[in-house]
Amino acid sequence: MFDLLKNIFAFEPETNSESTREHQSRLAAAALLVEVANIDSNFSDVEHQTMLNILERQFDLSSTEVEELQQLARQEQASASSLYEFTSLVNENFSNDQKFELIINMWEIAFADGEIDKYEEYIIRRVAELIYLAHNDFIRAKQIAREKRFN
């Protein structure tokens, strides 16, 4: 399975079937969630569990796939020069509603430990810009995630 995920993230031209593109875009979005969890160098247990729950729920991944994805995303994070390789797939394959849900999920991870780090907010804002989410939707997503966490 790990090799399959690595191949999917390689974005090879021969993997252009509709189901493969959908899988790629879901994994790219999942990698963005991992980025939020890792960005502040304080990957707490509650952030980890929140991320796992979101990945399993939102992207219909098994617990094995989630764990392997997390390992792969950490490798990608260390070698990636930009978020473009992930956000471009989100832009190509996600509706506006799906993009909005992705930003809510990113905020949920950021709020999981009870505090928002400036780097977490920065990365969420940057992804929202790169996926062309309106600023008012960025703010609304933050409010929704905050209400989920603190209510």
pLDDT higher than threshold 50 for residue 1:
no
Mean pLDDT of 15-33: 77
pLDDT at 72: 73
Residue 35 neighbours by CB under 8 Å, 6+ apart = 73, 77, 83, 123
In tens, the pLDDT along 116-145 reads 889 999 999 999 999 999 999 999 999 999
What are the sequence ranges of the domains in the chain? 2-150
Distance CA 51, CA 93 (A): 21
Q: What's the rounded Cα separation, in Å, for the pair 123 and 137?
A: 16
Read off the pLDDT band of 24 (50, 70, 90). confident
Q: Which two tokens stand for residue 16?
A: 């252009």
Sign of CA dihedral 150, 41, 137, 104: negative
The dotted CATH code for 2-150 is: 1.10.3680.10
Please check the confidence at residue 14 and state whether its pLDDT lies above 50: no
Residue pair 70/34 in contact (Cβ under 8 Å)? The answer is yes
Tens-place pLDDT, residues 73-113: 667 666 766 888 889 989 999 999 999 999 999 999 999 98
pLDDT exceeds 90 at position 57: no
